């Protein structure tokens, strides 16, 4: 039935009080992307249109985060069926499939949802079921003798026997859009919470002579995040997936558990990542790159064969060319380091262009900021920047030029020149011995 058009409704109006946060719950991040961002991305991967996000009044930051997708406002949080009803207007006239997702379930995977659509037959309501043994807060799926779904009973409303059912409601439902709102209107609120339960749509559909069915999925994907502890569980699960994917794509992770990826980290093949490396969002790494231990990398591009770290920090806008070396305690921000250039020790290179094959000596600093504006430093191809050079931007050092160690460079240096900008050394022979003798004599007297 996958030729039917698809709309997605993402429920995100819940208060999330247990997060104890000023931020709406669904904006908390997993692998560098908000939870709702993960859910919306899964909806997009299925080609859903529209994707309507249901929010509570005042959740403007959520509306901004899901743009360009529309939001629908649920005025009061009267339950999941009431929340879906809030999307009535944006879905007026839509007769394809409507998939219901939760904004606080970031682990749901597009592949699973696609399979759910494929396995669907012609039932009015398909529920994604999970197997959970023992005590759990999930709604229980009650099946008929023929294996179809008869009704869902919430844990709070269930009898002891019903609570023993291990087939549970993940919360994900696929509903025939032509019937959705008619069925919702028949749902009442006489239950333990006095809420309008979306889960009751199954019994309502059955009463109307329609069929309902369950498609099963791994329980892991249904994890709902209500607290910071659950957020950390979601993070670890997501990281496990990302690490596995990186290795499947041909990267070596020496200690996978200590490498932290962002949702969009793109590694080429034959990349080696040593232990304790953190990737923020927006990182692309070319083939054969070596990332040594203890690096922090975000919004950066690293080209083929470069060596990064140990202990390097690549900040937004760092662009490292083929075969370049960035060594320990080197920070690069908004700067291009061309092919084969090296900055191996203790440097800050910000707002700069470093030419191919240039060598940046230990302790080099670009002084890019005067407290108000940022300025650029240009270093030509093959230049040699002496150790402990401070480059006061805007300034340029020409191709093949040298700067003397310890120089403070404030004026442009032409190609192939040497710039030395430091105090001349004076040597006074015997001075130290005389000084000591004088001091001792004074002490003996006193
Ligand atoms: C719901 C299901 C339960 C299922 C479980 C899976 C119902 C009645 N129960 O229970 O069967 O096992 O999810 O996690 O549907 N929301 C709104 N507006 C509301 C209420 C909720 O937008 O008025 C949103 C929440 O933000 C959340 C989602 O709907 O994203 C689910 O709500 P929640 O209160 O967590 O439902 P559960 O009680 O967990
Ligand atoms: Mg819940």
Tell me the per-residue pLDDT of 302-341, one tens digit each, with 9 for 90 and over. Answer: 999 999 999 999 999 999 999 999 999 999 999 999 999 9
pLDDT at position 446 is 81
Between β-strands 384-385 and 212-216, what pairing exists: parallel, antiparallel or unpaired?
unpaired
Dihedral sign from CA coordinates of 323, 324, 329, 330: negative
CA 80 to ligand 1 centroid distance, Å: 6
Q: Are 291 and 274 in contact (CB under 8 A)?
A: yes
Report the SS3 class of residue 124: coil
- Give me the mean pLDDT over the 103-122 stretch: 97
- Give me the mean pLDDT over the 371-394 stretch: 98
pLDDT at position 2 is 56
Ligand nearest to the CA of 156: 1
- Ligand 1 in reach of 11 Cβ (< 6 A): yes
- Give me the mean pLDDT over the 216-237 stretch: 97
pLDDT above 90 coverage of the chain, percent: 98
Q: Are 287 and 268 in contact (CB under 8 A)?
A: yes
Mean pLDDT over the full length of the chain: 97
**pLDDT at 419 exceeding the cut of 60:** yes
- pLDDT band at 15; cut points 50, 70, 90: confident
- Ligand 1 in reach of 171 Cβ (< 6 A): yes
325 carries an active-site annotation: no
**pLDDT at 1 exceeding the cut of 50:** no
**pLDDT at 358 exceeding the cut of 90:** yes
Characterize 39-59 residue by residue with b for buried, 16 or more Cβ atoms within 10 angstroms of its Cβ, and e for exposed.
bbebbeebebebbbbbbbeeb
Which of ligand 1's atoms lies nearest the C-alpha of 12?
26
List, as own/partner pairs, every contact residues 278-282 make where C-beta atoms lie below 8 angstroms and the sequence separation is at least 24, other chains included.
Answer: 280/32, 281/32, 281/33, 282/316
Query: How buried is residue 185: exposed, middle or buried, by Cβ count under 10 Å (0-12/13-18/19+)?
Result: exposed
- pLDDT band at 207; cut points 50, 70, 90: very high
CA angle 80, 85, 87 (to 5 degrees): 110
Give the separation between CA 201 and CA 86, rounded to whole angstroms.
16
Which domains does the chain possess?
6-222 (3.90.550.10), 228-419 (2.160.10.10)
């Amino acid at each position: 039935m996958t030729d039917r058009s698809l709309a997605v409704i993402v429920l995100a109006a819940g208060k999330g009080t247990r997060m104890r946060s000023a931020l709406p719950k669904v904006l908390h991040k997993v692998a560098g992307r908000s939870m709702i961002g993960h859910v919306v991305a899964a909806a997009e991967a299925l080609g859903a249109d529209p994707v309507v996000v249901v929010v509570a009044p005042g959740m403007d930051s959520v509306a901004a985060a899901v743009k360009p997708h529309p939001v629908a406002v649920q005025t009061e949080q009267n339950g999941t069926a009431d929340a879906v009803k809030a999307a009535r207007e944006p879905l007026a006239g839509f007769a394809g499939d409507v998939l219901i997702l939760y904004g606080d379930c970031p682990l749901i995977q597009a592949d699973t949802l696609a399979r759910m659509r494929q396995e669907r037959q012609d039932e009015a309501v398909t529920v994604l079921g999970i197997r959970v043994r023992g005590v759990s807060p999930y709604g229980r799926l009650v099946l008929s003798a023929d294996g179809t779904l008869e009704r869902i009973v919430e844990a709070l409303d269930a009898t002891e026997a019903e609570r023993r059912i291990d087939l549970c409601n993940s919360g994900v439902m696929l509903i025939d859009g032509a019937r959705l709102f008619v069925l919702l209107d028949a749902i009442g609120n006489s239950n333990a919470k006095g809420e309008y339960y979306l889960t009751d749509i199954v019994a309502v559909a059955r009463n109307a002579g329609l069929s309902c069915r369950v498609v099963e999925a791994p329980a892991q994907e249904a994890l709902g995040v209500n607290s910071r502890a659950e957020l950390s569980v979601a993070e670890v699960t997501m990281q496990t997936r990302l690490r596995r994917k990186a290795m499947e794509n041909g990267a070596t992770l020496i200690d996978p558990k200590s490498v932290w990826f962002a949702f969009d980290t793109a590694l080429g093949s034959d990349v080696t990542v040593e232990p304790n490396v953190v990737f923020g969002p927006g990182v692309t790494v070319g083939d054969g790159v070596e990332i040594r231990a203890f690096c922090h990398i975000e919004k950066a591009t690293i080209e083929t064969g470069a060596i990064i770290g140990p202990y390097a920090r690549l900040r937004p806008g760092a662009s490292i060319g083929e075969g370049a070396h960035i060594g320990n305690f080197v920070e690069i921000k908004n700067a291009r380091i061309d092919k084969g250039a090296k900055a191996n020790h203790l440097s800050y290179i910000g707002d700069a262009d470093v030419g191919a094959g240039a060598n940046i000596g230990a302790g080099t600093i670009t002084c890019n900021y005067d407290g108000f504006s940022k300025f650029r430093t240009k270093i030509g191809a093959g230049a040699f920047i002496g150790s402990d050079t401070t480059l006061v931007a805007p300034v340029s050092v020409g191709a093949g030029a040298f700067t003397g160690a310890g120089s403070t460079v404030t004026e442009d240096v032409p190609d192939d020149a040497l710039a030395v900008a430091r105090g001349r050394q004076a040597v006074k022979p015997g001075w130290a011995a005389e000084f000591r003798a004088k001091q001792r004599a004074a002490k003996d007297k006193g």
